[in-house]
Amino acid sequence: MNTKTTTKKYKRISKYPLSVPIPVQGKQSLEQPNVVKFQQLLPTIDGIATGTPNKVIRQSDAASFVAQLPNLAENQSRIGKIYNNTRIETRHLAIDLLSEEGMALTANDNPIQSRMQLYKEYAFPLAEKVARKALESAASSVETNNYLHSKLNIEDSIRLIVFVSSTGFIAPGVDTELIKKLGLKPDTARVTVNFMGCAAAMNGLRIACDHVLAHPNNKVLLVCLELSSVNAVFADEVNDVIIHSIFSDGCAAVVIGACEKEQAIAQGKVVIKDHLSYLIENTEDGIVLGIRDNGITCQLSRQLPDYIKNGVGSIIERFLASHSLTKDNIDLWAVHPGGTRIIENAQNSLGLTDNQVADSWEILREYGNMLSPSVLFVMERMLLKCQDFQTATNLNYQSQNASQQTKALTGIAFSFAPGVGVEGILFQKL
């Protein structure tokens, strides 16, 4: 299957609360025979890439098509308004739900076994394509003077794959296929994160960071892949219409490494400083994932926007305060583009301007809600802009004052998990 990918190199990175000091052997005295010098180790984003299936449907065409389905006649008058309110213009899908194949798939009696077979068929090539782009990005960013990493090629440096998905379950799965297709070592460890919904990328990043801090010579490949289209069902339920109007397909891959604090600063790396995880009280009905005979389902409560509006602001503020930060210290806000009311209520809860969440709105408009990869699409777009800005600023500084340095940019990214849980990271672009 053909895929569309975007990628960019990141040759910089840094980190603190997640940082772990590593021992560096120094001169020892008779008085202190076991004393060693410690340097701070930081988890870094060494490469990132995103991609989507090539099939693209316009939201206006999808609305017209769904409104004509006979079994949705009772809700026909509401369908156009539902689609229009999403502020989505296009979505990328593995299966074109407006085609004969798509119509056959959305039948209620289509068993989950056949849907998982379709997931396997479309997931493998998309994951391989995007993962290769992330590895290429990481390979070009490896610094030869970093003694923590050997001269192994990037494929041999990957010692763990973290695979994330809530829309497909197969074993052996995508992780095993990636080991073969990418030429990774057969003793590469594997971890899967399932059924954590839109926030699962944050869980995957936590696992990856913990691994490289414990094994600084290693790198981790994180792959988040969601194919909502293989689970599409149209019964005479408004929830099915809402789900179809929002969700789409996509993949994001990230290579996580580690380096010392001084190198991270010198090389201007992207550093993951800490992780956020908070379960909002009494919100269990907000996001509910399930498995039925005819596919994987998602039920969104009408109260979900209120849960986000009432909970997110205080949660983020307390998290930032634990790092002696306030909202004014945050330059980059990667808010999960889960839907119009998701972004709006997160924005209102945090008191953010339209400009501060502009990247989230752009990803929603162009792609819809891809679940776990979505926030990584937002981060990638932000980091590309930051790199272009810092490059231009550096050139300007060099012409005026070579001793000046660009300002480090602090960011926070977060998504929402069933529960409702808030999962996020605090990062910095040095």
Active site residues: 198
Judge whether 252 and 373 are in contact, CB under 8 Å. Answer: yes
Q: Rounded to whole angstroms, how far apart are CA atoms 78 and 261?
A: 55
Quote the radius of gyration of the chain (alpha carbons, Å): 22
Q: Rounded to whole angstroms, how far apart are CA atoms 110 and 94?
A: 17
Q: Rounded to whole angstroms, how far apart are CA atoms 6 and 13?
A: 20
For residue 3, the number of C-alpha atoms closer than 13 Å in the C-beta half-sphere is 26
Q: Rounded to whole angstroms, how far apart are CA atoms 316 and 335?
A: 12
Q: Please give the structure tokens belonging to residue 381.
A: 């777009």
The total number of residues written for the chain in this structure: 430
Judge whether 342 and 336 are in contact, CB under 8 Å. Answer: yes
Q: Which amino acid is at 82?
A: I
- DSSP assignment, residue 247? B
Q: Rounded to whole angstroms, how far apart are CA atoms 257 and 47?
A: 9
What are phi and psi for residue 394, nearest 5 degrees? Answer: -60, -40
Judge whether 129 and 3 are in contact, CB under 8 Å. Answer: yes
Instruction: Choose among 252, 253, 251: nearest CA to 220.
Output: 253
Q: Output the CA–CA distances (angstroms, integers) from residue 391 to 113, 211, 266, 411, 421, in the order listed.
A: 50, 31, 14, 19, 37
Q: At what angle do helices 59-67 and 238-246 cross, to 10 degrees?
A: 160
Q: Rounded to whole angstroms, how far apart are CA atoms 423 and 15?
A: 18
Handedness of CA 9, 12, 16, 22 (dihedral sign): positive
